[in-house]
Structure formats: structure tokens, C-alpha cells
Amino acid sequence: MECEVHIEADPARVWELVTDIELPARFSPELQRVRWLDGADRPAVNARFEGHNRNDMLGEWRTVSHVVELDAPRVFAWAVVDPDGRFGAAAPDPRTPVATWRFVLEPEAGGTRLVHGARIGPAPSGLTLAISRSPERVEAIVRWRLTDLRAGMEHTLHGIRSLAEGPR
């Protein structure tokens, strides 16, 4: 799934915001807090960060994310793994993530088009857990999760736009 927004700010300013891993926790209803791991303090390919999430239907869980793509000031992407086995067997390998998230920035009409995307799988996720509990409701569960993710992504995009277009 992808959501996008036009931001009246140059890509360098938007890049500064989207590569601040703590920023989405300010706007996301699900991501509660994050912190760099292994002494990292900024994005670099293979850098890792820990996230703590909360969702009314799925509960609370911890993830570890690996930066998998960094092309300044155009693409920032990270693969999310389930190191604790919250959604099945522990899945710490970023080559088979629970989800992959990305920001893509493109210059557009004197500003920046910011695309926020997510791909669920292939490792088991909260969606897998919810479906396994109520397989007869698979369509409703998938529809709910996609709606929930879209709302969080749009909220994050609008928060980034507000910061990028506002005073520093």
C-alpha cells in the first residue's frame, strides 16, 4: 500500500524529516517509540533500530528494523523483523521481514512529492495472527488492517508536511 502528499518544501528539508526515525512516533497511532541500536545514530544501510508498537486489536509488541535502502535524498527503506516471535517463530532475518516500509521523495512543482509505502510479509505479522484466530473473517480482518495502516500512514504524512512547511 502507498499514500502520498505534496509538500511545499524542497526535498532536502523533507529528507531531513523522514530520516529522523523518532519522527513517525509523534504522528503514528501505532508506533509508540523507537531507538537506534548498535551505537548507530543516523540512517545507514544495515543500521538497526528498535520499535515499540501498540494497537487495540493486536496488543503491544517490539520490532527490530534494518535499513535496507538509503539513497539520499530520494529513498529511505527499512525491513521490520519480529525478534521475539510475537507473531510466530522468531523471524530476525531482514531478507524475510514482517513488513518493509519506505519513503520515496521526488521533486514536484517547486516542492516535494512524498510517498509512504508499506509491504506486509513474507514473515508472519499481526495480520497473520489475527487471521489465524478468526479465519472465517479473513476479508474483514484484511480490510480493517489496510484501513488502519492507511490512516496511520496518512496521519504521518500530514505531520511531516506540517513540519516541513512550517518554521524551523
Tens digit of pLDDT for each residue in 39-60? Answer: 999 999 999 999 999 988 778 9
Looking at residue 103, what is its pLDDT? 98
Q: Would you state the cell numbers that stand for residue 141, as one nine-digit string?
A: 480482518
Instruction: Note the residue count of the chain.
Output: 168
Q: Where are the domains of the chain?
A: 2-165
Of residues 126 and 22, the one with the higher pLDDT is: 22
CATH topology of domain 2-165: Alpha-D-Glucose-1,6-Bisphosphate; Chain A, domain 4 (3.30.530)
The CA distance from 40 to 121, in Å, is 26
If one counts every other C-beta atom within 10 angstroms of the C-beta of residue 143, the result is 11
* pTM across the whole model: 0.92
For the stretch 91-121, pLDDT in tens is 789 999 999 999 999 999 999 999 999 999 9
Of residues 132 and 165, the one with the higher pLDDT is: 165
